[in-house]
Structure formats: structure tokens, C-alpha cells
Amino acid sequence: MELYWISGSAPAWRVMLVLELKAIEYTSRILETATKEQKSDAFRAINPRGQVPVLVDHDLVLCESRAIVLYLERHTPTPALLGATAVDTGRIAAGYEAIINHVDTTVTQFVRPVFRDKLESERDSVRQHAGVLRREFDLLEDQLQGRRWLMGDQVTLADVALIPAMQRFSRALGKSDEVAGLCGFEGFDQQFPALWRWNTATEALPEFDRTFPPHWR
């Protein structure tokens, strides 16, 4: 297998985590955004939209992260990241989609002004998205009560979905003390202790270290 990806891309990171958690051998094809390699003719021949991730497995070319994750789950069933029963699969898939649709998308809107040094001019937008995130974090905090991972005792696709979102959020808070103060996220570990413990546990996973965006190190 070959995986085409960009450092820091949340969809690509999710796919890499699945590959590593399942111990699937693959060749890493990192694309350089500085030269817009993802928009090159060579890469567009693989994915005409010029987007990552792209997984190539012999004659199969998959260009959407959700499709890739489902393919990998069927390709290598163990460890099962979507559970062992239909009920498990439904619950985990719902959690996976909820995190991508509600947490990850809001994190993107929250961090964009921070990383583009537009915090001053977009304060209202940052506060608005921080409010949405706070409600989502409250839900996750409740879900994690008495659990090590989001769905129980094992890492699942729900955890895979949340890891890149939380790391981008944490990186934005670390960029400036002003961000946490503006949005009321000072002392995040005290406000959301279960979510903080979960985040610490994910950072201890060897798969986390192997997939951490190289340009963030």
C-alpha cells in the first residue's frame, strides 16, 4: 500500500493512525505544500481534485478518508476499530461521524484565525466557535466518565477521529496565552479533567508518535 498525505492534514492523520493501529505495512508518500505538490500534474493524475489522503493498493485508488478507513477495517479486521457487533459498529460509527462533523469542523474554524495571525480582527468569530467547542467538550467530558477511551476499554475509530482535532486545538492554545484567555479555556485540565486524561493517554500511544505531523516537531 501507498499513502499520499500532507503533514498536519486531519483526514490524512486519521488514516495514518488506522494503518499504524492495525500494523499494516505501507509506503509513505508525503507531499510538500511549499511547492504545492498536491496540485501538480503528477499527483492530479492520481487524484484529480488534488486532495489528500489518497491510498493506493495495487489497482485500487481511494481518495476519501472515510472510504479509506472503512476499506482498511475490512482489509485487516484485527484489531477491530468498529467493534465486534452491529450495535458496536453503529455506536462507534455515530461517534466517529459526530466528532468529524461537529468537533473537527469547529476546531478548524477556531484555529484558522490563530494560525493566520488574525486573532485581533476575528475575535468575535473565535469566541463564537469557542462557545460551540465548549458545548462539544462538555459532551465528551460526560461520555468519558468511567471510561479510558471514548467508547469503552479499547481504542476505536471514535478516538481516531478526535486525536487530530484535539491536537490542533491544543496547538492553537499553545501559540499564545491570549487565545486561552479570550475564550475562557485557561486551566483546561481542570475544566475538562476526563478529556484531559484521554488526551494524555492518546499522546502516550506509540502510534501517535509515529504519525505526529513532522512539521510540528
Helix H or strand E encompassing 209: helix 206-211
Q: Are 93 and 157 in contact (CB under 8 A)?
A: yes
Average pLDDT of the chain to the nearest whole number? 96
Q: Can you give the pLDDT at residue 33?
A: 93
Q: Can you give the pLDDT at residue 176?
A: 82
CA–CA distance, 210 with 198 (Å, rounded to integer): 18
Instruction: For 182-197, write each residue's pLDDT tens digit.
Output: 999 999 999 999 999 9
Instruction: For 45-99, write each residue's pLDDT tens digit.
Output: 999 999 999 999 999 999 999 999 999 999 999 999 999 999 999 999 999 999 9
Predicted model pTM: 0.96
**Three-state SS at 14:** helix
In the block, which residue shows the cell 494503518? 19
**Three-state SS at 172:** helix
* Domains delineated in the chain: 2-75 (3.40.30.10), 86-211 (1.20.1050.10)
Q: Can you give the pLDDT at residue 43?
A: 97
- pLDDT of residue 35 exceeding 90: yes
